[in-house]
């Protein structure tokens, strides 16, 4: 499929909504703007909260429209469409083929993304896959094969684009040699681990060596070793929404403590990266980096299943027959 012309409005479809994930509301509103009265009924109150904190002129991305929406529960789609100004609700995800320039798979179930993405990959459409892209070996192998075959794919956590992360990266030299960092998230390793892994990856770069996931009901802590020698702790507190995004870095000359709070601009920057990718086909970061992060997630699952044993990333990458970039 040819790249859309830069002077034509880009048409996007947002497809899929499962419990605990309100991206069809938020992503679509950030792109289209929104109806305040309808958005007030959004079942995820944080979304109208951070939308309402923005000047109304900021809640819109010019030259792009979410034109179609589909939700797993068909009764939910009309409310999303009304709140986020989406003109078309479709009966089946595949109905958007031929009507849009790209699709966003807006569910965070990394064990079910291949099924959701397949019709659009086969149709040649650019596809954004919500984080994490894949949490099983079979899913990851399929995405690798598709990307090697030229499929235009992109996946990320919005926390890759958190404004606070850029400032933190700029401050790294003042900390001397980095020794340890910690980032805290909520929910589960499978669904939200990527929200803390990806910022760590941005700060350290590729080269994770091993993963050990200490697990108990409601609380898991992933212990990661990076080839630089930096150790990383990622607490995942199931009911820890109040501490989501807490970050601490410790170096030989100083430390930094911040918290990711600017959700609106993190998501907006994430969407802008995909929009630019659709227009230019230039990856904002190597696909190999996404593969390495998914391998870390899978290694964590394998660690849990083996009684919290250390799992070397080389084991996962060897099974994938994949070499990540340096």
By CB neighbour count within 10 A (0-12 exposed, 13-18 middle, 19+ buried), where does 264 fall?
buried
> What's this model's pTM, rounded to 2 decimal places?
0.95
Give percent above pLDDT 70 in the chain: 98
- Domains in the chain and their CATH numbers? 10-157+265-284 (3.40.50.720), 160-263+292-320 (3.30.360.10)
Query: For all residues of the chain together, what is the average pLDDT?
Result: 96
* 206-224 tens-digit pLDDT: 999 999 999 999 999 999 9
Q: Find, among 182, 222, 186, the residue nearest to 199 by Cα.
A: 182
The pLDDT value recorded for residue 210 is 99
pLDDT tops 90 at residue 11 = yes
The pLDDT value recorded for residue 5 is 60
pLDDT tops 80 at residue 2 = no
Alpha helices in 189-237 (DSSP H): 189-204
* 180-200 tens-digit pLDDT: 999 999 999 999 999 999 999
């Amino acid at each position: 499929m040819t790249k859309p012309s830069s002077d034509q409005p880009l048409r996007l479809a947002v497809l899929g909504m499962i419990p605990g994930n309100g991206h069809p509301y938020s992503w679509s509103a950030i792109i289209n703007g929104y109806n305040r009265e309808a958005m007030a009924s959004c079942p995820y109150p944080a979304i109208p909260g951070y939308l309402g904190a923005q000047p109304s002129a900021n809640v819109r991305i010019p030259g792009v429209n979410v034109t179609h929406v589909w939700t797993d529960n068909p009764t939910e789609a009309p409310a999303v469409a009304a709140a986020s100004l989406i003109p078309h609700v479709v009966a089946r995800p595949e109905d958007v083929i031929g009507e849009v320039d790209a699709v966003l798979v807006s569910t965070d179930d990394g064990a079910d993304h291949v099924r959701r993405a397949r019709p659009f990959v086969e149709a040649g459409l650019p596809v954004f896959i919500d984080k994490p892209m894949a949490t099983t070996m079979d899913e990851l192998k399929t995405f690798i094969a598709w990307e090697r075959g030229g499929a235009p794919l992109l996946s990320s956590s919005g926390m890759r684009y958190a404004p606070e992360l850029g400032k933190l990266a700029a401050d790294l030299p003042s900390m001397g040699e980095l020794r340890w960092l910690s980032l805290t998230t909520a929910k589960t390793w499978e669904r939200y681990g990527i929200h803390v892994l990806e910022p760590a990856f941005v700060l350290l770069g590729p080269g994770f060596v091993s993963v050990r996931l200490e697990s108990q009901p409601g609380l898991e802590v992933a212990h990661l070793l990076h080839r630089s020698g930096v150790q990383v702790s990622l607490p995942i507190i199931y009911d820890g929404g109040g501490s989501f995004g807490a970050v601490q870095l410790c170096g030989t000359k100083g430390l930094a403590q911040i918290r990711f709070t600017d959700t609106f601009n993190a998501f907006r920057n994430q969407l802008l990266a995909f929009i630019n990718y659709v227009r230019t086909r230039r990856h904002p970061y190597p696909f190999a980096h996404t593969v390495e992060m998914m391998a870390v997630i899978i290694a964590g699952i394998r660690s849990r299943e083996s009684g919290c044993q250390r799992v070397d990333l080389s084991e996962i990458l060897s099974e994938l027959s994949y070499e990540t970039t340096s």
